[in-house]
Amino acid sequence: MGENEKEVGEGTGELTEERTRGVDTPSSGPNVDQEGWPAWLQSAYETLAQYDRLRNVDVWVRLLEEWVALERKYGFENPGGPSAFYTKIGRPDLVDWWSRVARKKVRMEGPGSMPPVKTFAKSFQVWWAAINPDWRERDGSNGCLRLDHRVEIKDKDRWEEMKKPGQCGILTIMVCLFHWFQGVETREDEDEWRKIADDVQWVVGRMNKAIKYVDWSSTR
């Protein structure tokens, strides 16, 4: 075993500090353009990007980059009201807590009590399937998305129902992934988180590619 490696407890599946921090892929953090960011985006990004255990996790870094780029394409819109949120079908209670308590400033700390990691993972996957377009393939046994078979249709409006900019939209998905990861303690749980985070990153990336940049300053 090399001097920079640490042993994982045999048979326990416990994560080493290195593994949870993702130092297998060290980086300087997300490469983003922060010019013109509104206060809500700046505050949320600072919290989501500065958490030590996620700072160098590739899929999280890529997701942050895609997310803020997409918010820019949406002109940093920040609508409010029930319609600004994704569906309540299967929505984790964490989103309701966040909208009441922490929306003005994304916090490092989650609610006083979170469901067990495996319970939260299942509930998030139900919600994630509910908010994705109907054309994405589902698993017939549980209704969750088929993450091993991602095919994007050609329709120009294919991601329209996913368009939820601002604090009440895609940011709520980011918040769920963020607090979910804080509870991860085993390799199995981290692998499950990475699998879902990778799909979220794929969706946000495809949404980015599907829309053209809009110069909102010229329309105001």
Residue 52 falls inside a structural domain? yes
179 lies in which domain range? 36-212
Q: Is the pLDDT of residue 173 over 60?
A: yes
Residue 23 falls inside a structural domain? no
Residue 17 falls inside a structural domain? no
Residue 21 falls inside a structural domain? no
In this prediction, residue 13 has a pLDDT band, given cuts at 50, 70 and 90, of very low
Residue 25 falls inside a structural domain? no
Q: What are the pLDDT digits (tens) for 111-136?
A: 878 899 999 999 999 999 999 999 99
Residue 14 falls inside a structural domain? no
Torsion angle (degrees, nearest 10) of CA 24, 47, 98, 127:
-30
In this prediction, residue 26 has a pLDDT band, given cuts at 50, 70 and 90, of low
CA distances for 207 relative to 24, 113, 141, 182, 210, angstroms: 28, 33, 28, 27, 5
Q: What are the pLDDT digits (tens) for 56-106?
A: 999 999 999 999 999 999 999 999 999 999 999 899 999 998 888 766 677
With H, G, I as helix, E, B as strand and everything else as coil, classify residue 82: helix
Residue 152 falls inside a structural domain? yes
Contact at 8 Å (CB) between 98 and 175?
A: yes
Residues near 19 by beta carbon (within 8 Å), at least 6 away in sequence: 8, 187, 190
Counting the structural domains of the chain, the total is 1
Structure-block tokens of residue 182: 């804080």
The alpha carbon dihedral of 110, 30, 17, 59 has a sign of positive
Report the 10 Å Cβ neighbour count for 77. 14
Among 196, 205, 178, which Cα is nearest to 126's? 196
Q: How many residues does the chain have?
A: 220
Residue 10 falls inside a structural domain? no
The alpha carbon dihedral of 104, 94, 165, 45 has a sign of positive
DSSP 8-state secondary structure symbol assigned to residue 50: -
